[in-house]
């Protein structure tokens, strides 16, 4: 077994020794406070004293700025970068990760997760599909495809539809769904939208309507998939070769709700087959609270009864119809979908509370697909779906007793240079800071708080330290809101 020497600074010594004890590793503490300040001279002077012949490798803090190739030649022992944070050290050592001389080990963990996902996806793509939607393979063992709906697409311009579609694809969607307006006939707009998307994008496009005339117009325009057929409309819809059709239980187009949902769904599938529809997808319908558990049970029962039929699940029925944060819901539903062998997940970002839902679902699907492929739990894979929380804690050194700070009673003063109004543009993914005197005089925008803060200082747009402190706090809050999809309101608590 390779004996390991862990090099650290004084502040992290206790935490490193705690981890080292679990892996029979030794620790060398250098005469510096933090890893960032470790110099080559300090390393060579400190490591000349102990006998290094017993060690097969020396692991340095990932944040240390050192030429490990040079140090390795001098010491005669292999040298590698560990993680930047002590909290990741146990995972790095426990996984037996192949370490680097230039890249921190925690970044290697992330890269390994992405590489494993790419490898798993490549292996799965070699399997024989049941059918294709556009160029996407569908069938048992393939990861679920994300269908992202443009809600009320006919009410948007062609360019707005295209921009929305591109945003969805960038967020991780596989199929763009053109959502029609219930109770209206948009026979002119729908073909134009679908043709525009098909001409500009390489992704499959679906039409989302129960109106047979709209569906047929969408098929003629090149739609790859139809959402949806029911017992009432399928007799008037074209059975077109190459097009996939989602089948619902009952006849929602007429408002009829079946008492026996799964029986009705099976009957509708048989009817569709007799009418000549070939690429069929069953939707047992994921229902919002408080019928969610029973509806998930319907998916399981249907899968057991008809294991060869592709399934669709509308996860937007949960995320849009519950006033709760969507990331956790998407992670749990993605896990259920992979377990059930669902082929398609339909979602949307129709409301403010579901901003970023497509990217959340993409990350959650990747995590659960990789876990299923490896026959492992969806954890410790180098991929995660964390957004607001963390997996490991930050190291906190033991400090002397802190002085309690009292709430400030200092009177607010306006900066002579003016005040800033701060906004978040979620469409452009930008933070906006507008200097206001008699009107808006200077308007800055950027992707993060630091860039905008530095530009404000560079231009001399702030003269008061308390105002600079305030701006830094508000801009950081705006950046967090942008990443979380949370509405930003200046001067309100987070």
Where do the domains of the chain lie? 4-115, 127-374, 419-484
Domain 4-115 has CATH 3.40.50: yes
pLDDT single digits (tens) 368-377: 999 999 999 9
Q: Mean pLDDT over residues 164-171, rounded?
A: 98
DSSP letter at 309?
A: S
**Residue 392 binned pLDDT confidence (cut-offs 50, 70, 90):** confident
The number of CA neighbours under 13 Å toward the Cβ of 487 is 6
What is the structure's pLDDT at 396? 77
Q: 280 is written with which tokens? A: 């069929």
Q: 248 is written with which tokens? A: 């619902």
Domain 127-374 has CATH 3.30.930.10: no
For 212-251, what is the HEC assignment? HHHHHHHHHCCCCEEEEECCCCHHHCCCCCCCEEEECCCE
Rounded Cα distance, 107 and 112, in Å: 9
What is the structure's pLDDT at 395? 76
Please say whether the beta carbons of 311 and 295 come within 8 A: no
Rounded Cα distance, 305 and 114, in Å: 36
Q: Mean pLDDT over residues 225-242, rounded?
A: 96
What is the structure's pLDDT at 307? 93
pLDDT single digits (tens) 54-89: 999 999 999 999 999 999 999 999 999 999 999 999
Percent of the chain with pLDDT over 70: 100
Instruction: Judge whether residue 259 has pLDDT over 90.
Output: no
What is the structure's pLDDT at 438? 86
Q: Mean pLDDT over residues 438-457, rounded?
A: 96
pLDDT single digits (tens) 189-230: 999 999 999 999 999 999 999 999 999 999 999 999 999 999
What's the mean per-residue pLDDT of the chain?
Answer: 94
Rounded Cα distance, 24 and 55, in Å: 12
Q: Cβ–Cβ contacts within 10 Å for residue 252, how many?
A: 17
pLDDT single digits (tens) 457-486: 999 999 999 999 999 999 999 999 999 999
Instruction: Judge whether residue 1 has pLDDT over 70.
Output: no
Rounded Cα distance, 47 and 68, in Å: 13
Three-state SS for 258?
Answer: coil
pLDDT single digits (tens) 27-51: 999 999 888 889 999 999 999 877 8
Please say whether the beta carbons of 224 and 175 come within 8 A: yes
**Residue 183 binned pLDDT confidence (cut-offs 50, 70, 90):** confident
Q: Mean pLDDT over residues 349-359, rounded?
A: 96
Give the C-alpha distances (Å, rounded to integers) separating 418 from 155, 357, 421, 469.
41, 38, 10, 15
| Better pLDDT: 455 or 34 | 455
pLDDT single digits (tens) 87-114: 999 999 998 889 999 999 999 999 999 9
**Residue 255 binned pLDDT confidence (cut-offs 50, 70, 90):** confident
Q: Mean pLDDT over residues 364-386, rounded?
A: 95
**Residue 3 binned pLDDT confidence (cut-offs 50, 70, 90):** very high
């Amino acid at each position: 077994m390779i004996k390991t020497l862990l090099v650290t600074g004084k502040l992290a010594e206790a935490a490193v020794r705690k981890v080292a004890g679990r892996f029979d590793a030794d620790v060398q503490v250098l005469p510096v406070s933090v890893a960032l300040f470790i110099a080559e001279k300090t390393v060579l002077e400190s490591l000349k004293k102990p006998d290094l012949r017993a060690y097969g490798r020396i692991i340095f803090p990932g944040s240390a700025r050192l030429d490990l190739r040079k140090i390795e030649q001098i010491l005669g022992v292999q040298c590698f970068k560990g993680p930047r944070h002590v909290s990741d050290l146990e995972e790095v050592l426990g996984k037996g990760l192949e370490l680097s001389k230039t890249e921190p080990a925690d970044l290697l963990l992330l890269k390994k997760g992405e590489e494993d996902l790419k490898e798993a996806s490549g292996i799965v793509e070699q399997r024989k599909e049941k059918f294709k939607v556009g160029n996407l393979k569908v069938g048992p063992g393939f990861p679920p495809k994300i269908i992202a709906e443009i809600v009320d697409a006919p009410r948007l311009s062609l360019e707005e539809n295209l921009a929305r579609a591109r945003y969805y694809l960038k967020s991780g969607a596989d199929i763009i769904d053109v959502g029609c307006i219930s109770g209206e006939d948009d026979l002119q707009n729908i073909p134009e939208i679908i043709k525009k998307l098909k001409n500009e994008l390489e992704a499959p496009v679906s039409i989302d309507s129960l109106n047979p005339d709209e569906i047929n117009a969408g098929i003629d325009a090149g739609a790859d998939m139809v959402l949806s057929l029911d017992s009432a409309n399928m007799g008037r819809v074209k059975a077109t070769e190459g097009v996939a059709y989602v089948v619902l239980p009952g006849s929602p187009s007429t408002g009829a709700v079946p008492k026996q949902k799964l029986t009705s769904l099976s009957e509708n599938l048989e009817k569709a087959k007799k009418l000549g529809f070939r690429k069929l997808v069953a939707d047992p319908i994921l229902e919002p609270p408080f019928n969610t558990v029973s509806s998930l049970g319907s998916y399981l029962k249907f899968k057991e009864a008809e294991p060869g039929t592709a399934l669709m699940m509308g996860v937007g029925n949960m995320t849009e119809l519950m006033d709760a944060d969507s990331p956790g819901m998407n992670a749990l539903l993605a896990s259920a979908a992979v377990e059930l062998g669902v082929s398609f997940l339909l979602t949307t970002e129709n409301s403010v509370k579901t901003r970023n839902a497509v990217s959340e679902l993409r990350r959650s699907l990747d995590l659960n697909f990789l876990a299923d492929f490896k026959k492992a739990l969806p954890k410790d894979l180098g991929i995660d779906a964390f957004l607001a929380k963390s997996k490991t804690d930050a190291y906190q050194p033991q400090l002397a007793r802190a002085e309690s700070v009292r709430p400030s009673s200092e009177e607010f003063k306006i900066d002579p240079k003016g005040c800033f109004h701060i906004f978040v543009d979620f469409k452009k993914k930008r933070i906006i800071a507008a200097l206001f005197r008699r009107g808006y005089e200077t308007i800055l925008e950027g992707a993060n708080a630091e860039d905008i803060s530095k530009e404000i200082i560079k231009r001399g747009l702030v003269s008061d330290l308390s105002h600079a402190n305030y701006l830094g706090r508000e801009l950081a809050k705006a950046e967090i809101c942008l990443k979380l999809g949370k509405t930003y309101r200046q001067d309100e608590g987070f």
